Structure 1
Amino acid sequence: MKSYNHYIGGQWVDPAGGEWFDTENPYTGEVWARIARGTESDVSRAVSAAKMAFEGEWGSMNPTKRGKLLVRLAELIEREAPRLGEIEVRDNGKLIAEMGAQTRYMAEWYRYYGGLADKIEGAVIPTDKPGIFNFTRYEPLGVVAMITPWNSPLLLLTWKLAAALAAGNTAVVKPSEFTSASTLEFAELFEEAGFPPGVFNVVTGFGAEAGAPLVVHPHVEKVAFTGSDVAGQKIYEAAAKKIMPVTLELGGKSPNIVFADADMEAAVMGAISGIFAATGQTCIAGSRLLLQRSIHDDFVKRLVEVAGEARMGDPMSPETHVGPITTRSQFQKVLDYIGIAKAEGATCVLGGGPYSGPSTKGSQFVAPTIFTNVRNDMRIAQEEVFGPVLSVIPFEDEVEAIAIANDIDFGLAAGVWTSDIGRALRMSERLRAGTVWVNTYRAVSFTSPFGGYKRSGEGRESGKEAIKEFLQVKSVWIAQEASTQNPFIIR
């Protein structure tokens, strides 16, 4: 069994408290590694290393050289992507097809932001003040704390880290206690790429013991977090006490809206992709399927047929469609919500409980589940389940579809299926969501900003917009000649 230590200041460091904890394979239920259990002492050491790097070699490095290091890191990621993907599958139980694609694709973020590193430009401001030269400059914040979830550990870290490093910051990462191994394996690449010690640090452990001290540490200048809205709110509150900026990518309850004029087969596949891909364990899950009444029954019939053919089993097998739920607590939560939906009066037309079969080993499988007769005010339609559970809600027209879609505390994403370009544009304008997909679902890119409205978050990741999340702007005023004006009035 492999034991993992913290990665601090370019070195592998034993936990200060001398304790490790086990990490399990969700598919087999077997313990396969030990992870260092971090404490406030470990966090302080990591933040000090990051601060030293920021004030030293990394902070004085020119942006072009920083960019080249990021491009070199991208090359190493491409080399190691298959291995990193397999580690993630072992840790979180998601499909190798999905995790392998993610670890390969994440190299593009480092390459993209490597190119942006030396293109962060201020401006000369034409002011109304004679004899004064005014310009702006963008500067890094300093040490950034990054707290990442268990569903896509490395990709969601990448969405934060690539932009933060390109902007000139240093990082301390606290990955989920359920999926820390891939982040620690990833840390090995930084030394090989040539990054100075302390630029990238990893402290593992539990939220209360390692995550909370990291957020409130006085030398942390920003927090970038992906996780639940409840945890995000706590981080936001803690950051507010420090007057500290945050980037929060939180939960979702995304509507996937199908109109009668849509391509039926494409929309059925899009609905399945939206909720059953990644076992529904994704913040952008299209967990509310809004169907125009005239096609409701036929669509549900076809949806049940296709979803019922999904193969469940070993996530390492390319033949598997749906893997296990990542954690035991999440497995129970999904089952609890299925019970809540039934008690609320929703009709279960597929699944509805645990799944066991010849290709499943552990006990953390939930059958793909579809509920009809769902009202939008039901808990199953309002609260994030984070599992393979779909609520089907009928609507009459565009007005009702918008009303239902927006009647939610979340606003991360939405899908629209229609052959009417005018409708597509109207819906994309009126939906209160950070991402709107039309005739597709779950498309993301390093070139396009991602983030949420309402309780789905604050700030944006990816695209050019993301790099500004890790910068602060300074205005510089230079008088061309010494002034003897009245010193008691504003210039």
Structure 2
Amino acid sequence: MKRYAMMIDGNWEEPASGQWIDSVEPYSGDVFAQIARGDAADADRAVQSAHAAFKNPVWSEMTATARGGLLRKLGDLIERDAQRLADIERSCNGKNITEVLGQVKNVAQWFYYYAGLADKIHGAVVPINKAGVFNYIRYEPLGVVVAITPWNSPLALTSWKIAPALACGNTIVVKPSEYTSPPLLELAALALEAGFPKGVFNVVTGFGNEIGSALIEHKLVAKVAFTGGDQGGQKVAEAAARNFKKVTLELGGKSANIVFADADFDQAIRGAIAGIFGAAGQTCMAGSRLLLERSIHDRFVARMVEVVEAAHIGNPADEQTQVGPIATKAQFQKILDYIEIAKSEGATCVTGGHALTGEQFGQGQFIAPTIFTNTHNAMRICQEEVFGPVLAVMPFDTLEEALEMANDSDFGLAAAVWTTDLHKAIYCSDRLEAGTVWVNNYRATSFTTPFGGYKRSGMGREGGIEGAREYLQAKSVWITTQPNRSNPFVLG
């Protein structure tokens, strides 16, 4: 069993508390590692280290091209160790090894993308409306960035923050979920191997109320980038606002997957299943509300039930597994509670709706893929994020009714439209209140394009050039070319 200290100032540091937290494998229930239980003292050490590194000419005067070279080297190391990193992440959160390995390989691509972008973040010369003045805009890093990330996709969702933050010249302190810290600590070791200066990339671990709050409120932190639930995001925003820190919040969702009668039926079936049962529904972008045109409702539901009841459920280390365990005991119980709430509200459970037991289900932290019909937006199951393999199906009669139902949510992270009518696809995409809209596909993301939410699904964007801008601040520089002022008492 490996014991992970924290990465602070390029060194492995044990917690000030002297205490450790067990990392438990969701499938077997076995303890496979321990992480440091950090506190406010450790948070201060990490932030001080990151601040000193930000001010150090070794990093602050490094050219953007050289920063890009370090990011590229880190991407190479991630590719080299992709299988090892994927195995560690799978051990933490129980996600299927096939999906995790694909995600880790894609993480390397995020570092390659921002490596190339690092020296292409240009300022601008402004044709100012005043004579005798030359004006230009330069973009500068913010300083110390704190990244607080969840347990469902730790390497991917953290790299969405690390890569642009470092490309822009910031330094970073990562606080991963206490459930999935080992893969981020392994990534920190690779950053050192890649040649990043000490203190540029720090990782501290522990419980949110013991170390996360101290990081958010630290006076030397310039920005907090958070991925998690909307209530947690609200607390982060409130705490950051007290000291005018910038924030990026990628929060939850209750995304609508709209299928019209003219859609490619089989393709839409696959997309609806991928949208909610991929990763056992433990994704912020899960298509947890399925809106079906009434004429295809019964046939579509019947076919979905047939497919999900044949799914291979079991050990996430098995490449044949399609649905793995729920990552934590607390989340497992929360999902079961929501299933009972849906039943009590009058929803009809057409498949699933219960925990799975048996030798193939390890310690039993599995929930059968669950589909509810006879649901409507007044139900909690249709308004609150379950974060599990639970689908609410609702029929609609007209396009405008479908859009009204889809937008009737406090969330706005993503949505999808399934149709062969291009006009309908564009019309819906324009009117859906969501940061991402997929047409005839679901769960696609890329480092080249922004991802983020409307409403309670967050603020700011990750990915693409927009993702880099979240880690920069603009400075306007005015240079007088005609120094003589006729009247110093009048604004120039």
Could you give the per-residue CA deviations for residues 49-92 of structure 1, whole angstroms, max 9, x where no partner exists? Answer: 11111111111111010011111111111001110000000000
Question: What aligned pairs does 1:209-228 form with structure 2 within 5 A after superposition?
Answer: 209-228=210-229
| Residue of structure 1 equivalent to 2:462 | 461
- Tell me the distance in 2 between the aligned counterparts of 1:74 and 1:416: 34
Tell me, in whole angstroms, the C-alpha distance in 1 between the residues paired with 2:90 and 2:265.
Answer: 33
Q: For residue 155 of structure 1, what is the aligned residue in structure 2?
A: 156
1:263-311 superposed Cα distances (whole Å, 9 cap, x missing partner): 1111111111000000000000000000000000011110100011111
Show the counterpart of 2:205: 204
Cα distance per residue 1:297-329 (max 9 Å; x no partner): 011110100011111110000111111100000
Residue 431 of structure 1: aligned partner: 432
3-state secondary structure, aligned to 1:235 = helix
Q: What one-letter code is carried by the residue in structure 1 that aligns with 2:444?
A: A
Looking at structure 1, the residues matched to 200 and 399 of structure 2 have their Cα atoms a distance apart, in angstroms, of 50
CA distance in 1, matches of 2:361, 2:125: 63
Give the counterpart letter for 1:220 in structure 2: V
Aligned partner letter, 2:22: D
CA distance in 2 between counterparts of 1:130 and 1:488 reads: 18
Superposition pairs for residues 301-380 of structure 1, below 5 Å? 301-380=302-381
Partner secondary structure for residue 375 of structure 1: coil
TM-score (ref. length: structure 1): 0.99
Counterpart amino acid of 2:235?
K
Percent identity over the alignment is: 61
- Structure 1: stretches of 5+ with no match in the other structure: none
More moved, 27-36 vs 332-341:
27-36
Q: Which residue in the other structure is 1:242 paired with? A: 243
Q: Report the AA paired with residue 13 of structure 2.
A: V
Q: Distance in 2 between matches of 1:485 and 1:472?
A: 34
Matches within 5 A, 1:101-140: 101-140=102-141
Structure-1 separation of matches of 2:191 and 2:353:
45
Cα displacement (A) at 1:129: 1.5
CA–CA distance in structure 2, aligned partners of residues 115 and 125 of structure 1: 26
Map of 1:286 onto structure 2: 287
Q: 1:79-133 CA distances to partner (integer Å, 9 max, x unpaired)?
A: 0111000000000001001111000111111101001101111111111221111
Q: Which amino acid aligns with 2:149?
A: T
2:419: which partner in 1? 418
Q: CA deviation at 1:206?
A: 0.4
User: In 2, distance between residues paired with 1:159 and 1:6?
Assistant: 21
The alignment of Structure 1 onto Structure 2 pairs a total of residues equal to 491
Deviation of 1:356 (Å): 1.6
Secondary structure, counterpart of 2:372 in structure 1: strand
Match of 1:40? Answer: 40
Tell me the secondary structure at the aligned position of residue 81 of structure 2: helix
Q: 1: CA distance between counterparts of 2:481 and 2:418?
A: 60
Corresponding position: 1:277 with 2:278: yes
Shift of 1:481: 3.5
* Matching of residues 380-459 of structure 1 within 5 Å: 380-459=381-460
- Aligned Cα RMSD in Å? 0.7
Report matched runs for 1:80-119 at 5 Å.
80-119=81-120
Instruction: Name the CA distance, whole Å, in 2 between partners of 1:120 and 1:366.
Output: 46
SS at match of 1:106: helix
Alpha-carbon distance between aligned partners in 2 of 1:20 and 1:231, rounded to the nearest angstrom: 24
For 1:294 and 1:470, how far apart are their aligned partners in 2?
48
Please report how far the alpha carbon of residue 488 of structure 1 lies from its aligned counterpart in structure 2 after TM superposition: 2.5
1-structure distance, mates of 2:320, 2:357: 17
Which whole-Å deviations, capped at 9, do the CAs of 1:407-426 have from their partners, x for residues lacking one?
Answer: 00000000111010010000
Task: Read off the aligned partner of 1:14 and give its amino acid letter.
Answer: E
Is the CA contact 2:358–2:364 (under 8 Å) kept in the aligned structure 1?
A: no
Structure 2: which amino acid aligns with 1:241?
A: R
How much has 1:32 moved relative to structure 2? 1.2
Rounded Cα–Cα distance in structure 2 between residues aligned with 1:307 and 1:448: 31
Residue 76 (structure 1) aligned with residue 77 (structure 2): yes
- Say if 2:60 is the partner of 1:59: yes
> Is 1:485 aligned to residue 486 of structure 2?
yes
Corresponding residue for 1:25? 25
User: What amino acid maps onto 1:55 in structure 2?
Assistant: K
Q: Residues 128-173 of structure 1, C-alpha deviation per residue, up to 9 Å, x if partnerless?
A: 2211111110000000000000000000001111111110000000
The one-letter amino acid of 1:44's match is D
1:310-349, Cα deviation, whole Å (9 max, x unpaired): 1111000011111110000000000000000000000000
Tell me which stretches of 4 or more aligned residues in structure 1 moved more than 4 Å: none
